[in-house]
Structure 1
């Protein structure tokens, strides 16, 4: 918090480079969670650090812990990490979660409904770990292990006829373990992963779930995340950011909870303007662009304006027939100048839906 009060009186432009930078920066933010009408509480802990004194040859690393609770019995304890070793030789990407997460279902693919069909209750343990090695420049190749364990699954239906969840699962509510290895190609030329102002990010993961690795069901998936950042000023924060995201499962039948769904990308930041789970099918395509700018000369206050399109395929056809747009705007408050961390307040609207998001890093 002291960084905020210091920032108010600083007159330097927000993007002027500091000659020295702290090795470790820690940020904390408790706030109401108003992602939807359900509400709740979220606490964000962000720690950034460098594993070498030379910040020109070793990039910033990040560990993000965001425990949340809602007024409807949802509890989530995720820890996510993005760590570079000295000279960026190795990169470690981790996603570890324990969740008690009752969620509404809205149907699959083109059958998605305005109102919930049911509420699915379950507990989830997730363990994702990737290790990649630098090949040349900012390009790297890696290998990962991905595990999702769903337990105590049950459904509370809100409609008279069978729900899409029941039909897809054929009435099977037993526990499910999905586990397998994943091959990763990664290109990341960003300097600051909390608040990028330049560069490219491209990630492609090919996941193979198989009984050899303990999985209850054999299936495969492809996960692609591509982003570009362009700065229009060397002294002010004026950035155009774009993102394209594609996620597909195939060659088998994953559990309903493993199907691609809006808001369930690794960082949970697709779908501003859409309630999480609002759209789900065997493939998801998401496009978003955002303009970020300063409001005050010293960068203490900023604003963003964004729009996105999302679509899930018709189940079993992989055809994208319906596209749903969303628009929104947000406020940025400089939370920590050491790592350029912002308090993020975003409001988005789409057809029959809305979200309000709070966080300590940009959405992408």
Structure 2
């Protein structure tokens, strides 16, 4: 990343944040505007105003047309159903269904659920997927992209190892409230990789890939493997709205145990921890929010197959690692940080924006690469368009720049 560009961006960000924070306690922010969402722009101005009760649900379907390094040009659709119970204290829940086909002949089917039931006393969290997929792998650790003083002329394509495989994922947890905002639960997890083709592998000529070497060392099948397990879940959630949070905190610790049912599996355990914090910056405008997302995944015992190792872009919402291709950073241990400042652009809340930065670090125990020994940063900007006032659902567009990498993202709902 160009040093001069990074300095200019940082200075502009400091000025923007300073001005907005200053504005919170002045008359600048006290102007009251009527909140408008995208559908309001298409209503007739002379139509008779009819007061309606606030709805408790919202259904959205948007086309997906875009391009990313992992998929190339892609098209499809994403639907999101947001709802809550009749009680005023009920929190919003969301269910997402998406289908995408790409120019690389990938088929991506996703079903995600984050649902509160029985007056917030039961919390469901699920990530179901079926992928006919192709994705390049780049080895383990975050030292695969060299530091700035050694990156002249570096090209990610020189270390890319293309792979094709089918992937079925079923992760579902259920947690019960034991105290106000505190939950305890359990989950079922299945990751099944089939029809694995390592395109660069050529044993006859001696060209061995990272995937091949790792699975050979730890005794995993090169063409198919499955990881199945059960988990215990501890969760805290005080967010005012999980779709678009203005204040509150979310914390989750999930400990997963994977037994071995045959010789091609290894007994293992994986710890996943996540923390999100949302701090309002204004007394007059709740759209000014400082947010923090920290996530860590650690293989704590045994070994898991190569493709099942912790990596960026494989969280429930596939939002981590903005600025880098999905799966670029992978390791036995991975930690991810992201911070974001959300601010209004238009007084009527139709348009808002974000500036964000993230940091990724991953380990490779075979090469003695430790967590935080090497880190990879990224920065970005985003635009939000309000498409439903009651649920605060935004159409989200982000552009991020990493080191030797950049990407555009189109989604419904905030990154975290």
Instruction: State TM-score, norm by structure 2.
Output: 0.80
Q: What do residues 288-307 of structure 1 show as CA deviations (whole Å, max 9, x unaligned)?
A: 10001111000111110001
Residue aligning to 2:111: 79
Residue aligning to 1:309: 359
1:109 match: secondary structure: coil
Q: Where do 5+ consecutive residues of structure 2 fail to align?
A: 1-35, 45-50, 146-155
2:248 corresponds to 1:199: yes
Q: What do residues 292-325 of structure 1 show as CA deviations (whole Å, max 9, x unaligned)?
A: 1111000111110001111111334471210111
Deviation at 1:172, TM superposition (A): 3.6
Q: Which moved more, 1:271-280 or 1:116-125?
A: 116-125
**In the superposition, relative to structure 1, how do residues 78 and 139 fare at CA in structure 2: closer, same or farther (>3 Å)?**
same
Aligned partners of 2:39 and 2:387 also within 8 Å: no
1:195-344 superposed matches below 5 A: 195-211=244-260, 216-233=265-282, 234-316=284-366, 317=368, 319-320=370-371, 321-344=373-396
Q: What do residues 233-258 of structure 1 show as CA deviations (whole Å, max 9, x unaligned)?
A: 34341111111111111311211111
Aligned partners of 1:179 and 1:215 also within 8 Å: no
CA distance in 2, matches of 1:333, 1:118: 38
Q: What do residues 188-226 of structure 1 show as CA deviations (whole Å, max 9, x unaligned)?
A: 111211111110010110000003699933211011110
Aligned partners of 2:246 and 2:286 also within 8 Å: no
Kindly report structure 1 stretches of 4+ aligned residues shifted beyond 2 Å: 7-10, 18-21, 33-37, 110-117, 158-161, 211-217, 233-236, 314-318
Q: Which moved more, 1:239-248 or 1:115-124?
A: 115-124
1:92-241 superposed matches below 5 A: 92-110=124-142, 112=144, 114-115=156-157, 116-157=159-200, 161-170=207-216, 172-211=221-260, 216-233=265-282, 234-241=284-291
Q: Where do 5+ consecutive residues of structure 1 fail to align?
A: 11-17
2:123 corresponds to 1:91: yes
**In the superposition, relative to structure 1, how do residues 35 and 193 fare at CA in structure 2: closer, same or farther (>3 Å)?**
farther
Residue aligning to 1:353: 405
Aligned partners of 2:142 and 2:360 also within 8 Å: no
Q: 1:66 aligns with which of 72, 88, 98?
A: 98
1:181 match: secondary structure: strand
Aligned partners of 1:180 and 1:215 also within 8 Å: no
CA distance in 1, matches of 2:286, 2:359: 29
CA distance in 2, matches of 1:232, 1:19: 32
Count matched residues. 355
CA distance in 2, matches of 1:239, 1:136: 27
Instruction: State TM-score, norm by structure 1.
Output: 0.91
Aligned partners of 1:7 and 1:334 also within 8 Å: no
CA distance in 2, matches of 1:296, 1:44: 26
Q: Which moved more, 1:154-163 or 1:284-293?
A: 154-163
**In the superposition, relative to structure 1, how do residues 331 and 169 fare at CA in structure 2: closer, same or farther (>3 Å)?**
same
CA distance in 2, matches of 1:248, 1:298: 44
Q: Please tell me whether Structure 1 or Structure 2 has the larger radius of gyration of its CA atoms.
A: 2
Q: What do residues 73-106 of structure 1 show as CA deviations (whole Å, max 9, x unaligned)?
A: 2211110001111221111111111111110011
Structure with bigger strand share is: 1
Q: What do residues 263-287 of structure 1 show as CA deviations (whole Å, max 9, x unaligned)?
A: 1122211101111011111011111
Aligned partners of 1:282 and 1:318 also within 8 Å: no
1:87 match: secondary structure: coil
Aligned partners of 1:7 and 1:298 also within 8 Å: no
Structure with bigger helix share is: 2
Q: What do residues 58-86 of structure 1 show as CA deviations (whole Å, max 9, x unaligned)?
A: 21111011222221122111100011112
Deviation at 1:158, TM superposition (A): 7.8
Q: Which moved more, 1:40-49 or 1:111-120?
A: 111-120
CA distance in 2, matches of 1:314, 1:327: 25
Aligned partners of 2:399 and 2:408 also within 8 Å: yes
Residue aligning to 1:13: none
1:167 match: secondary structure: helix
Residue aligning to 1:15: none
Q: 1:28 aligns with which of 61, 79, 103?
A: 61
